[in-house]
Structure 1
Amino acid sequence: MPGPVQQEMEKLLEEAFRPTKLEVINDSAKHHGHSGDDGSGESHFTVVIEATAFADKGRLERQRMVNRALGDIPGQRVHALAIHATAPTE
C-alpha cells in the first residue's frame, strides 16, 4: 500500500495534469542506508507521467512543471525524485 507521501504526490499530479499515464514508484528500499534515507521509507521516488500539458515542452521545462505541481515535496520531504515526463504522442 502506498504511503502518505506517495498518495499525496499521486493526488497532486492527477489534479495538475490529468495524465493519461501516471506511475509514482517508491524506490526508497533500493537506497536504504544511503545518503538521504531518512528511515521513513518514502525518501526516493520515480515519477513516470504522460500528459498533454507536456506537448511542445523540453525535458527541463517538463521537470520544472512536475516539481512545481509537487510543491515542497521534492527536496524538502523527498530526498530524490527521478522524473520521466512525456506527451501522449511520444
Structure 2
Amino acid sequence: MPDSNAPIQSAIEQKLADGFHAVHLAVENESHMHSVPPNSETHFKVTLVSDDFAGKNRVKRHQAIYNTLGSELQGGVHALALHLYTPEEWQARHEVSPASPQCLGGSKHDKA
C-alpha cells in the first residue's frame, strides 16, 4: 500500500505546495499498481487545482509542473499523471479526478 510519508512523494507534495497557489493538491503514489518492487516511488498521480493555470493551455500547465519537479523527474520517477485544473474547471468536474488505468504489464521480467 502507498506510504504518504515516503521521501519522493513528500518532496513532490512540498515543491508543488510551495510553487503553486493550490486550492486542492493530491499526490498519489500509484507504484503499487505497476510491475515494480514493493514500496517503490516510481509512478505518481498529481491532481492540482490552482488559479495559476488560468489562461494556460495543457502544455503550459504541464511545463510548469515539469519545471518545478525537475530533480524528481530526472531521478527515480518513471511516470507522472497530471490532472491540472483551474478552480472553475475543477468545480465543473464535480471535484473528481479521473481514475487511473490498471497497469498492462511491461515488466522487463515478462517473457515475450
Q: TM-score, normalised by structure 2?
A: 0.71
State the percentage of identical aligned residues: 34
2:19 corresponds to: 16
Question: How much has 1:18 moved relative to structure 2?
Answer: 2.2
Q: 1:31-78: CA deviations, max 9, x gaps?
A: 12xxxx466510000100000100010011101101111121124320
**Distance change >3 Å, CA 24–CA 55, structure 1 → 2:** same
Give the gaps of 5 or more residues in structure 2.
Answer: 90-112
Matches within 5 A, 1:77-88: 77-88=76-87
2:32 corresponds to: 29
Higher relative CO (Cα under 8 Å, sequence separation at least 6) belongs to 1
**Distance change >3 Å, CA 62–CA 38, structure 1 → 2:** farther
Greater C-alpha Rg: 2
Moved over 4 A (4+): none
Contact 2:32 2:39 in 1 (8 A): no
Question: In 1, distance between residues paired with 2:42 and 2:73?
Answer: 9
Pairing 1:52–2:55 present: no
Pairing 1:5–2:4 present: no
Q: RMSD over aligned Cα, in angstroms?
A: 1.5
Q: TM-score, normalised by structure 1?
A: 0.87
**Distance change >3 Å, CA 45–CA 10, structure 1 → 2:** same
Give the gaps of 5 or more residues in structure 1.
Answer: none
2:65 corresponds to: 66
